[in-house]
Structure 1
Amino acid sequence: MSTPLRCLIVDDVQLARDRLRRLLGMIEDIEIVGEAANVTDALERVHEHAPELIFLDIEMPERDGFALIADLPESLRPAVVFVTAYDQHAVRAFAADAIDYLLKPVEPERLKQAVERVRARRAQWSPQLVAQLQQLGGETHYPDRLSLPVDHGIRLLALDDIDWIESAGNYLCIRTGNETLILRETLTKMETRLDPKRFARIHRSRIVNLSRVAKLLPLYNGDHTVVLKDNTELGLSRTYRDALYRALAIEH
């Protein structure tokens, strides 16, 4: 028996997710670690469960499947098999390095073939990872400042000056003291640019500078409030609670 392949199902239609789950249940060594109905929730599941494979619908409300691929951090790049009712996206899908492209209704045998393709690719992941680590020869180096476009040029912002960052659609609000800077970028992309020893996500829409955290206040439902040194209060969701505790070296 091989190691189970950890999978995430992303589709805005519940019936489609249920059917795919049933079909995957007929294939050996498959572990479904979660489901999501939209890109935002899918990103949370990726951070929470680190799946090796995403079965991804393309046309979904608000943001499509390609937006999810664009937002995935480099450190969490699962294989992708598109599952869609439309064939016109195939060229773009394979350009995005998809392993396979399945049309709905999915045939069990085609699904099995797609899984086998992913397993064949997975057999190459470990030696590739070792080679990459040897080539890097050390830890990832993160910048100490950000370059932000402004009206008449570029502003260089030291990361130490950032208190916290909040997403607003495809824009970011970067809070620095009494100033708020606006940047057109997703929060997930920004997260890949920040040193995880200095910054941590506390909510699907917020990242905080760890040096600004003064205390954590538990709430009744398992969520917390993060209180910064300037008394700003930010919500901490359960999804990111344990990771924040580890980043702050707090035992709980």
Structure 2
Amino acid sequence: MTIRSVIAIDDEGPALRRLCKMVGDHPELQLAASAKNSVVAIREIEKHNPDLLLLDIQLKEATAFDILSSVKKTYTGRIIFITAYDQYAVKAFEYEALDYLLKPYTKERFESAIARTTAKTESVDIHTVIRLLTSQKNVGPPMLMIPEGTKNYFIGKNELQYIYSEGYYANFILQKDKKLIRISLKKLEGLLPSSFIRINKSTIINQLHIRELANNRSSIKIMMSDGSDFRVSDTYLNSLQTFLKRNSDGGE
């Protein structure tokens, strides 16, 4: 019996404690560390280089993509993803023979995922995993699934014009409707496909609904299809320029 070192990563305290207990109760696993955010996660992965990551796909301030991109030169172990709502990514993981736990998962489902992972003779290359996560983020389905607590809202990707923050909430402005959902723009950046770009502290726009872009000496102003206009802040200027260049080149 091989003892496999594990790092558990989940930004929800109760979920992380439950996950750590399952690891502790499993005869073939040894918990090397746990983390509730990407900074700690990256530090612990580089420190321990565990055999297995139990990795939540979407943390409050980062995504699995962010974490794996930071450790891709050093981490060579296996990964079991944890997700609460991204069924499209789950389907892709199934296709690529990656393992996942869909919340709320049972102890039996946890043990099944561990058994499948430990039985494999080869690890999935981490660069392949990153490409998979990127493709899911950038392409995605025509409907966006936005989580709020125990609920999920389904919003047409092409119908959504822009999003702006209002306190702890985000206003989703659609062509014929609007929705107010309790979610941060930081978390939305990890969920939205590549046609969406953040342009300032409080606004994310959909490129499909840009009507006009005015490039002045001191600032850039974007007008949307409904007549609303937003200024691009210096913080997000480089990201916007890269975004516009990529789309003017027809993508990569």
TM-score, with normalisation over the residues of structure 2? 0.46
TM-score, length basis structure 1:
0.46
